[in-house]
Amino acid sequence: MTSFAVPRLLASSIGIGQHVVAKIAGLTFDLDTLWATGVAMVVVIALGLVVARKATNGVPGKLQLAWEMGLEAIQNQVEGTIGSRGRAVIPLALSLFVFILVANWLTTFETGAKYEILGPPAADINFTLALAIVVIVPVHIASVRARGVRGYVSHYFKPYKVLFPINVVEEVAKPITLALRLFGNLLSSVLMVALLAALGVWTLAHFPVGDVSTLVLETVWKLFDLLIGAIQAFIFALLTILYFDAAMSGAH
Cα radius of gyration rounded to whole Å, the chain = 22
pLDDT value of position 226: 86
In the 8-state DSSP scheme, what is residue 5?
E
Domain borders along the chain are: 19-249
Tell me the C-alpha distance between 157 and 136, whole Å. 20
The 8-class DSSP code of residue 22 comes to: E
Which pLDDT does position 73 carry in this prediction? Answer: 85
Backbone angles phi, psi at 22, to 5 degrees: -140, 140
Q: Write out pLDDT tens, residues 27-47.
A: 888 888 889 999 999 999 998
Low-confidence ranges of the chain (pLDDT < 70): 1-17, 111-116, 197, 200-213, 250-252
pLDDT for residue 140: 94
Question: DSSP readout, 90-116?
Answer: HHHHHHHHHHHHHHHGGGGG----SS-
pLDDT at site 173: 93
Alpha-carbon distance 3 to 206, whole Å? 8
207: which DSSP letter? B
| pTM recorded for the entire structure | 0.81
Cis peptide leading into residue 208 (ω within 30°): no
**176-213 pLDDT per residue, tens:** 999 999 998 888 877 777 777 677 666 555 556 556 66
State which H helix or E strand residue 30 sits in: strand 27-30
Share of the chain above pLDDT 70, in %: 83
